[in-house]
Chain A
């Protein structure tokens, strides 16, 4: 009687040990799977970033033809806007000029580009006169409507013409793109950010 009771206790203990072992194995497998998933998410290239950017070839405000390989070893910062946009574009460009000043020597590592979404009005000469008011570092890019449409597609830029009582305006994406020297998308900057906020974002990648 006593023997069988102690055996049944042993059986019970063994069963408990087995259950514990199974629990440990299950928990271990689960955490390994979770860690794997986290690592995969961290290292897999985010689909959104892979799609932004691409080759382009446009007329620049400095009279040259500029393409995506014109600035070897340097980051580029692209802002899509137009000169007749009287609020957000000059506000953003003034902030950008301020940010470049705040960055000091680090600013040499980035070429700011203003790509017009209004090639009909923004000729290289108009862009040159306009951008020179903000900072001599800025280069303006324009082209045929087809060329502009192509770079807008490559950078996922929206620009929609809407008629007004006295002409037309363009609705356009409120974003600047920081691109790496090898042409990959690095980070977005929101249009209308303050100069210190822009400088802080740029410094993270340029210094």
Chain B
């Protein structure tokens, strides 16, 4: 039972990060129908900016906010420079452009910070853990869950209340009508990318804490979050959160319980399992858990 609880906590911590990453994908997709493959590199960038700020002597909480803000600005910059001119082009053009922007970011990160892994600074002892109902939980994991939940609640409030959130909802339902009603659609696109960047930085920072560390390959984690985005539904924020948490749990539990029963085939099986679930899921529910069904008019 203890092992199970321990795995559940680990899964939740991982799942919160996945949920944040999925949120980053969904926010941008809802507003501009762009699937941002560069998000993974924004994760890495956020982590490295955080480390740089901490080395600079900035206090930890301020550095966290600074890293989120700066990564967000990079995200908004990418939108303005690269994706704004591509509005109205086919889906796969935006897919490729974001992948290549990701590769550029990755090269730049390598150029500035080099390929060697670094530890992520934490205000608490990085390997400290507390005992919750008999399960050992790292402070970092607990911190990830708390930060994730706070961010998600803040985000929830933001899209339902202020002008920006209402504007985002309007833009996602119909860009042209939103523009006609005086909503600054361009600025909304920029803000969604800012939010995606900031949230990605947060996920990146917590994902590179103690048991793991930060190097230029962190971005590949974002690839592993794809099943969450798809299963939750590409345009559903609720779906992203639910499926992200589910994915984290599934991955950790599969690692704990399924891998060993599959012999040779089970080696690293937990990394593929989410993809299998995704494929099976889509056969029966092509638009994910909470995604909107496309209605086609002739």
Partners in one complex: no
